[in-house]
Structure 1
Amino acid sequence: MKRPVIFCDFDGTITESDNIVAIMKHFDPPGWEPLVEQVVTNKISIREGVGRMFELLPSSSKEEVAQFVFGTANIRPGFPELLQFCRERDIEFLVTSGGIDFFLLPLLAPFPIDPGRIYCNASDFSGERIRIVWPHRCDEHCANDCGMCKTTIIRRYPQTDYFRILIGDSVTDFAGAQLADLVFARSHLIAKCEQLGLPFVPFETFLDVVRHLQTIQERV
């Protein structure tokens, strides 16, 4: 029997809103809006777009940016219950995120997630401007210049051995959804799955995810 493994997005999935977009809207550095539009329309890569957006912010704003996220980010209801369900059913749970370590890791710190199972982008504040660092870039099978390449992580869990479950909401999840055996989708990912003809389960809270996973396991 294949082992289930979950690859879960962070911004707009674990959190109720996209923190990177929220940061840009709040601090409003000149030039951020065209970058978002170019990423969404695939005119530039996610790595280029996110990197250039954060370069618009001075390194001196690190604490202010972090505190803004901590004060505004809401964890989607049902997240603790999903983690508990995974522990009880021996389902490996990974966070696979295009988010940035300096706000993502503190937000996840209260939850019992193995730090080695959290994949995200890193940050460097040693220069005048915030620089994003990319420790999990695309492998030889991906040419999307993702920054944090979700398909690279997914491919480490062969489909012959694992039942691969993706939970996501937006552009960073599009490629991964095409590799997954089961997709839980919301927001832009629903539209993309419909466009590509990919089967998916819509969700609003993680309690929806748990309920669906329970029905699957009961049938096995």
Structure 2
Amino acid sequence: MKKVFLIDFDGTVTKVDTVDLMVKEFAKDGWQYYEKLWEKGEMSTEECAIETLKLMEVDEKKLLDLLYTVEIDDYFMEFLNFCREKDYEVVIVSDGYDFNIKTIMNKYGFDVKFYSNKLWFEDGKIKVDFPHKSKDCDKCGMCKLEVLNKYKIRGYYVVYVGDGYSDLCVSQHADKVFAKGVLEKYCKENEIPCTSFRNFSDIIEKLKR
């Protein structure tokens, strides 16, 4: 059976959440209100993003400069090499932005298939779009469950790796879950089997066993 790793990006591949970072750096006060509503599930990612962007003052260069300060997990590149050797597929699934993911991939020199929301600059203004949202649920901008189902239909064994709020739904449907942070707490409270991890070295070690 083919194996695919669906991996959250912000706070999982990266050491910090790049969307949180840009909001804290460039948004005027008031974004905290929208974030709380999003965390409670009372506001969708799309609604939260649109309202937060109204508070942001940033250009493309400033955002690139900020993103180039972001570090990835110390063992993520080793994990990618391990998956290549084993012929495991790796796909990033992110409720963040393609602009951020591409910038980090360019910085570290790796190229992984990914699904995410879109962000770009037009006439000096920041723009976003949500091409992978679900028709049935508006919680997330990018529906990770729909990506998981694509692989399930094709007969894959799906391993999910994540840490946050946008990982809660999809974790219930994966064949195996590696979790930390908010996701680990959620899995334990809801009796969803998961393996805790601190970094990708832990995942490599557990896979080798």
Shared topology, TM-score over 0.5? yes
Quote the Cα distance in structure 2 between the aligned partners of 1:112 and 1:66. 17
Quote the Cα distance in structure 2 between the aligned partners of 1:144 and 1:211. 37
Quote the Cα distance in structure 2 between the aligned partners of 1:49 and 1:209. 32
Name 1:91's counterpart in structure 2. Answer: 88
Quote the Cα distance in structure 2 between the aligned partners of 1:28 and 1:125. 16
Letter matched to residue 21 of structure 2: A
Post-superposition offset of 1:74: 1.2
Quote the Cα distance in structure 2 between the aligned partners of 1:122 and 1:136. 9
Letter matched to residue 163 of structure 2: D
Post-superposition offset of 1:57: 1.8
Post-superposition offset of 1:70: 1.3
Quote the Cα distance in structure 2 between the aligned partners of 1:162 and 1:55. 41
3-state DSSP of counterpart to 1:212: helix
Name 1:180's counterpart in structure 2. Answer: 174
Name 2:200's counterpart in structure 1. Answer: 206
Post-superposition offset of 1:148: 1.1
Post-superposition offset of 1:9: 0.7
Gaps of 5+ in 1: 216-220
Letter matched to residue 65 of structure 2: Q
Q: Which of 114, 118, 121 is matched with 1:118 structurally?
A: 114
Give the conservation status (yes or no) of the 8 Å contact 1:55–1:131.
no
Post-superposition offset of 1:99: 1.7
Quote the Cα distance in structure 2 between the aligned partners of 1:160 and 1:125. 36
Give the conservation status (yes or no) of the 8 Å contact 1:55–1:130.
no
Give the conservation status (yes or no) of the 8 Å contact 1:55–1:129.
no
Name 2:31's counterpart in structure 1. Answer: 32
Post-superposition offset of 1:54: 2.4
Q: Which of 146, 157, 164 is matched with 1:152 structurally?
A: 146
Name 1:107's counterpart in structure 2. Answer: 104
Name 1:218's counterpart in structure 2. Answer: none
Q: Which of 106, 111, 132 is matched with 2:128 structurally?
A: 132
Quote the Cα distance in structure 2 between the aligned partners of 1:167 and 1:159. 20
Post-superposition offset of 1:86: 0.6
3-state DSSP of counterpart to 1:75: coil
3-state DSSP of counterpart to 2:46: helix
Name 2:183's counterpart in structure 1. Answer: 189
Gaps of 5+ in 2: none
Quote the Cα distance in structure 1 between the aligned partners of 2:5 and 2:50. 27
Quote the Cα distance in structure 1 between the aligned partners of 2:25 and 2:154. 45
RMSD: 1.8
Quote the Cα distance in structure 2 between the aligned partners of 1:174 and 1:131. 27
> TM-score, structure 2 length as denominator?
0.92
Quote the Cα distance in structure 2 between the aligned partners of 1:45 and 1:195. 23
Post-superposition offset of 1:122: 0.9
Letter matched to residue 42 of structure 2: K
Post-superposition offset of 1:191: 1.1
Post-superposition offset of 1:25: 1.6
Q: Deviations over 1:77-96 (max 9, x none)?
A: 11011100110001010011
Give the conservation status (yes or no) of the 8 Å contact 1:11–1:97.
yes
Give the conservation status (yes or no) of the 8 Å contact 1:16–1:76.
yes
Post-superposition offset of 1:45: 1.1
> TM-score, structure 1 length as denominator?
0.88
What percent of counterpart residues are identical? 28
